[in-house]
Structure 1
Amino acid sequence: MAGQTDSKPAAKSEGPSAKIVGGTPAEKGEFPWMVRLSMGCGGALFEKDVVLTAAHCVDGSGENDSITATGGVVDLEDSDKVEVKSKEVLQAPGYNGKGKDWALIKLAKPIDQETLPIAEDDSLNKDEFTIAGWGADKEGGEQQQKMLKATVPFVDDEKCKSAYSELIPGEELCAGLLDEGGVDSCQGDSGGPMFRKDEAGKPVQVGIVSWGEGCARKGKPGVYTEVSTFAADIKKAAKDLG
């Protein structure tokens, strides 16, 4: 989903590339924390003025006012959209293109929408997840004006490792229809959230669209940053942002 292209971590080598394949249109207000980033990635509101996205979507850490975050809508042409400039970027410390694929973007002002809590342990890393974004609806396709959503099942590390020998278990989480393909994130979805409901019925982010081989290919699930692994680091980094 995340860096989907023909190469492995496509998004990392050829620019952000990921979109929802096999999805259906999201309803306005359904995922209020969803944010579209101007470099062609997705993200989620960790706080009203902090977006959680993928490390491969940004270029290092520091002051940065070049990114525009669009929130509050499913249609990017909707007149209700809220556009806010970035203020600072924090890329995961030690990120080198493998694993640790998370980053935070501090916004110049808050976007008044609900935030998406992150998983703090791996108890929700199972069953089915929801993915959403404005990425392509097919491999090599165009990014979308309207948000799409889809449901993808958990793929355990052992099965995912057979598809991707370079998988980093414990830092990465896989999801997708392994046997038949057809549903996945794709170009333009990178950095967006993978989430599911907890026992209380509240949505929780368990993954960040990271990379994959192609989009929705049979035997090639999407690879996501395992949010629970980095929860403490993400929360500390958010506090340290100006």
Structure 2
Amino acid sequence: MKNTTRHLKRVTAAAAVTLAAFSLSPSAASALPGGGSGGPAGEPGTQVVGGTPAEQGEFPFMVRLSMGCGGSLLTQDIVLTAAHCVDGSGENTGITATAGVVDLEDSAAVEVNSTEVLQAPGYDGTGKDWALIKLEKPIDQPTLPIAGDDSLNNGDFTIAGWGADKENGDQQRYLLKAQVPFIDDATCKSAYPNLVEGEELCAGKLDTGGVDTCQGDSGGPMFRKDDADKWVQVGIVSWGDGCARPGKPGVYTEVGTFAADIKKAADSLGG
């Protein structure tokens, strides 16, 4: 985890099960106990700040993970999330993925346990913030394709999650969504000199703040429509300074950079 005294991952405590809001503004949150981007150093990050409730079925690829992170269905039995949400690679039956609903307490929610985790090779807390979670059985929901390059790294992105709806706020029961604009690397580096260009991208309302991912949103997708009007994932919620602060946008793993590695890893898991 990079410089956690200033730039916190957007993770939240595992005990917080009612996570539903994702904040669309500068700074993304992790999902592991004690590592968030939504509060003072050492506290977990939160959800989508400045968001509105998502409609049932609007983002059917969204997944809530029991350790307090978000994720997306790369395939029906593999979840794409953040490397900082998991503890290394190998057999792991202790994670539960919840999908198919915007209300985490909906009786129609589908819950499936993990069988294996594959953390990005070489992940050391800086960049390469992606991981895959293999599920014991498929989830019958649409999947979210990933970008193969950086051609969609522009315009406005959609973010969604069950994280906190404000810095130091509570996890949400209902899925929240928001939109955040792309910020180029040169501009983002003025806020975060340690930005790993080519591996991380930034999004948020730089001047005003107010919209962002937060604690509990770590690992969730940032996505947009392609030329065929289909959703494509371009980012993974990673880290930021606080949640939705002016001058401190959210930082996301640049999916296009790692597309080949992610697909190779998924193939190794049988996805």
> Is the CA contact 1:6–1:213 (under 8 Å) kept in the aligned structure 2?
no
Pair 1:9 & 2:8 matched: yes
* Equivalence for 1:159: 187
Instruction: Note the 1:131-170 alignment, pairs <5 A.
Output: 131-170=159-198
> Is the CA contact 1:49–1:109 (under 8 Å) kept in the aligned structure 2?
yes
> Is the CA contact 1:39–1:57 (under 8 Å) kept in the aligned structure 2?
yes
Pair 1:33 & 2:61 matched: yes
Which one of the candidate residues 122, 125, 131 is aligned to 2:150? 122
* Equivalence for 1:223: 251
Q: By how many angstroms is 1:207 displaced? A: 0.1
* Equivalence for 2:202: 174
* Equivalence for 1:210: 238
> Is the CA contact 1:6–1:214 (under 8 Å) kept in the aligned structure 2?
no
Pair 1:59 & 2:80 matched: no
Whole-Å Cα distance in 2 between the matches of residues 175 and 143 of structure 1? 22
Structure 1 residues 35-87: Cα deviation after superposition (integer angstroms, max 9, x where no partner): 00000000000000000000000000000000000000000000100000000
Distance change in 2, residues 1:130/1:6 (3 Å): farther
* Equivalence for 2:261: 233
Q: By how many angstroms is 1:6 displaced? A: 7.4
SS at match of 1:229: helix
Q: By how many angstroms is 1:118 displaced? A: 0.1
**Structural RMSD (CA):** 1.4
Q: Which runs of 4+ in 1 moved over 3 A?
A: 10-13
* Equivalence for 1:93: 121
Q: By how many angstroms is 1:10 displaced? A: 3.5
Q: By how many angstroms is 1:18 displaced? A: 3.2
Which one of the candidate residues 107, 111, 127 is aligned to 1:79? 107
When normalised by structure 1's length, the TM-score is 0.96
Whole-Å Cα distance in 1 between the matches of residues 265 and 127 of structure 2? 17
**Residue type of the alignment partner of 2:248:** K
Q: By how many angstroms is 1:7 displaced? A: 3.2
Whole-Å Cα distance in 2 between the matches of residues 10 and 51 of structure 1? 19
* Equivalence for 1:21: 49
When normalised by structure 2's length, the TM-score is 0.86
SS at match of 2:181: strand
Whole-Å Cα distance in 2 between the matches of residues 145 and 139 of structure 1? 17
> Is the CA contact 1:46–1:115 (under 8 Å) kept in the aligned structure 2?
yes
Whole-Å Cα distance in 2 between the matches of residues 63 and 10 of structure 1? 24
> Is the CA contact 2:8–2:35 (under 8 Å) kept in the aligned structure 1?
no
Q: Which consecutive unaligned segments of at least 5 residues does structure 1 have?
A: none
- How high is the sequence identity, in percent, across the aligned residues? 74
Structure 1 residues 166-194: Cα deviation after superposition (integer angstroms, max 9, x where no partner): 10010001000000000000000000000
Whole-Å Cα distance in 1 between the matches of residues 65 and 5 of structure 2? 23
Tell me the number of residue pairs that the alignment of Structure 1 and Structure 2 aligns: 239
> Is the CA contact 2:92–2:115 (under 8 Å) kept in the aligned structure 1?
yes
> Is the CA contact 2:66–2:96 (under 8 Å) kept in the aligned structure 1?
yes
SS at match of 1:225: strand
Whole-Å Cα distance in 1 between the matches of residues 209 and 107 of structure 2? 36
> Is the CA contact 2:209–2:247 (under 8 Å) kept in the aligned structure 1?
yes
Whole-Å Cα distance in 1 between the matches of residues 124 and 196 of structure 2? 13
Structure 1 residues 93-128: Cα deviation after superposition (integer angstroms, max 9, x where no partner): 000000000000000001000000000011100000
**Residue type of the alignment partner of 1:86:** S
Whole-Å Cα distance in 1 between the matches of residues 196 and 8 of structure 2? 13
Pair 1:109 & 2:137 matched: yes
